[in-house]
Amino acid sequence: MARYKKLATVLNEVNYKKAYKPTKKNAVLMFNVLNHAIFNGKLDIPKINIRKLRGAFGEYCYDTKKPDYEEITVTTEFENLRHFLIVLGHEMVHHYQYSIQGDTANHNQKFYRWRNKFNKMGLELGRTA
């Protein structure tokens, strides 16, 4: 429970009025922070890409024929750091669904079971971020 409070406290101090442009280094760092805080460190880090996306802020891709192919892609600019964390966390839930649960990584019951953990940290988990 303490790790939720610690991260939530840090997130409350962030300037959410400033646009956020993630770097790969920061995306990996935030992946590790969220992995520890929400997923108990169970996730292996997939390939993380930062590039412009049309009609989305992030996406999780995998290939059932190539089990080692898993990647998270996020767009190049976000409204603020919190929005970036919401999107990254959303894609990490899909990563957990596929890599740990063997699920199709859709927006189903297994996806929404993570909502309470996100809420405890002051982050939302929804279908669109």
Q: Is 129 a domain residue?
A: no
Q: Is 89 a domain residue?
A: yes
Which amino acid is it at 127? R
Instruction: Give CA separation, 60 vs 1, 4, 5, 12, 37, in Å.
Output: 28, 24, 28, 27, 20
Name the more confident of 104 and 65.
65
Q: Write out the residue range of the structural domain in which residue 111 sits.
A: 2-120
Q: Is 38 a domain residue?
A: yes
Q: What is the pLDDT of residues 57-96, one digit of tens each?
A: 999 999 989 988 999 999 999 999 999 999 999 999 999 9
> What is residue 64's predicted lDDT score, i.e. its pLDDT?
86
The stretches of 13-106 forming alpha helices (DSSP H) are 24-39, 81-99
Q: Is 125 a domain residue?
A: no
- The structural domain count of the chain equals 1
Name the band, by pLDDT with cuts 50, 70 and 90, for residue 128: low
Q: Is 128 a domain residue?
A: no
Q: What is the pLDDT of residues 39-62, one digit of tens each?
A: 999 999 999 999 999 999 999 999
pTM above 0.75, yes or no: yes
Q: Is 116 a domain residue?
A: yes
Task: Please choose, from the candidates 36, 23, 47, the residue with its C-alpha nearest in 3D space to the C-alpha of residue 117.
Answer: 36
Q: Is 7 a domain residue?
A: yes
Q: What is the pLDDT of residues 6-36, one digit of tens each?
A: 666 667 767 678 899 999 999 999 999 999 9
Q: What is the pLDDT of residues 116-125, one digit of tens each?
A: 999 988 899 9
Q: Distance (Å, rounded) from C-alpha 54 to C-alpha 56?
A: 6
Question: What tokens were used for 12?
Answer: 């409350």
